Amino acid sequence: MSDLRFFLEDGQIPATPFLTSLLTLVIWLLLRNWTWRSRNTKENRYHDSNYVKGLPLVRGSLPIIGHGLQFSLNKTEFLKQCYATYGNAFKIKIFRVTMAVFCDRSYASELFKCGEEKLSFYEMLKGIYLGEAFKGCGLKLSSMLGLIKKGTSLKTDLIFPVMQSEAMELISNLRHESKHAANQLVDIKTAVSRYVSTTSAKCLIGVNLTEAMFQDLEQFACILNHGVIASYFLPKWIIRFFIQWRLDKLCSKIGTGLNSEIETYRQDKDKKFSLILRAAVDSTNEVTGLPLSNKEIANIFACILYVSSENTSLGLINTLIEISTHPEVWNKVRAEVQPLLANNDIRGIMDAPFLDACILESARLNSHLFAIGRTPTGMKSLGGYSIGDVDTVAICELLVHIYGSASNVFSDATRYNPDRYFLDAAGKKEPQDILTWGSDTGSS
């Protein structure tokens, strides 16, 4: 009411026209809601006749915001309550986005095996603004991601020395900070993020990431993440108006340090240290037909670092925290890794079974709420449920890994226990069946 009084007081806006407009808006929303429900009912009726069930919409959805308020207040408790009430499959509405949520790993195989023509990954990315953010690369989203995927096939003998060198520098920096921190907390998040970004830039592109470039990348990621969140309740054109110019400006700054390296690939057609740069320099703008400019390639570079750094950093940070806060786990890791370090056996460290189990267990307990979703394009049902009326289909990792159906697979699922992936006294072990970010089941 305070907002209404603000607009009506002092004659700023006449009360009658304002209330008339408000009433018109309410009537429009009610009609829109009725139309949607009618369409939904017809679709469910159609699917029921084909032995496909309609997904229940979680109760409490409000006009415009849907379940946004409940979801924002406590995401974990909201989803746990949904599972307790509706079981393995239900629908929620977060502002503008209606999502089909599946909470059992039995649906994962069918979901992730569907091709782009049935459940679209690219359409989902466009819906959450990620597709919009990198439009300046001169390529379609699918073309750009395809280029990146092909270019990340690296020879291990080339990247291991780089990873080791950067890791030793990370360790040195953390030791220095902890020694001089007194009673202050060490900023492990920034240190690890810098390590991942720097290593990615060296291994994938062959460039040294300067401190200025790293700071610009951090700011770029922060702004884009806000844009992704905003896309759930704002039209893309509004988000584009407020943030895209800032993203473009940061992209240009990040790309400045890349210009000299790009030119070496333009001059030497046989240079292939970075398969991504080689492919980018050889590509043409899909609208103009001209070779990609340095600015357009900088967009691809920003996308690579954003995609490779965000979740990798979080995964590494969580793993370090879990190991360091469980002394018995730390002792086992040290006993396994120390002999390998003494022999400079980097491949052995990469294949160390207990260390791998620690990473896997950390991924299980610290995964996203949802695996990256898909947008239904040519598919009307999944797991016997109708999905034709939703914007996104997703597996809820929280209810697959920790709560909900997790107890069907993992014993004492809320506890950090890397030993669960090894044979116990009874000769049993739990499956290494973790839903990684945006992919099928498998080891992290």
Under the phi-then-psi rule, with left for phi > 0, alpha for psi from -120 to 50, and beta for the rest, what region is 439?
A: beta
The CATH code of domain 131-442 reads 1.10.630.10
Query: For residue range 274-299, what is the model confidence (pLDDT) as tens digits?
Result: 888 988 999 998 889 899 999 889 88
How many Å apart are CA 258 and CA 68, to the nearest integer?
Answer: 41
pLDDT per residue, tens digit, the chain (444 aa), is 333 333 333 434 344 454 455 455 545 455 555 444 444 443 443 344 456 789 999 999 998 889 988 998 999 999 999 999 999 999 999 988 999 999 988 888 888 888 889 999 888 888 888 878 888 888 888 888 888 887 776 666 778 888 888 988 998 988 888 888 777 788 888 889 999 999 988 888 888 888 999 999 999 999 999 998 888 878 888 999 999 999 999 988 888 888 889 999 999 999 888 888 988 999 998 889 899 999 889 888 888 888 877 788 888 899 999 999 999 999 999 999 999 989 988 889 889 999 999 999 998 998 888 887 899 998 889 989 999 899 999 999 999 999 999 888 888 999 999 999 987 766 677 777 676 543 333 333
Give the gyration radius of the chain's Cα atoms. 25
Q: CA dist 442 to 364, 437, 438, Å?
A: 11, 10, 11
Task: Taking the CA atoms of 392, 365, 187 and 209 in sequence, report the sign of the dihedral they define.
Answer: negative
Under the phi-then-psi rule, with left for phi > 0, alpha for psi from -120 to 50, and beta for the rest, what region is 11?
A: left
Cβ 101 vs Cβ 394: under 8 Å: yes
Cite the beta strand spans of 267-415 per DSSP E. Answer: 375-376, 381-382, 385-386, 392-395
Task: Give the single-character DSSP code of 435.
Answer: E
Cβ 92 vs Cβ 66: under 8 Å: yes
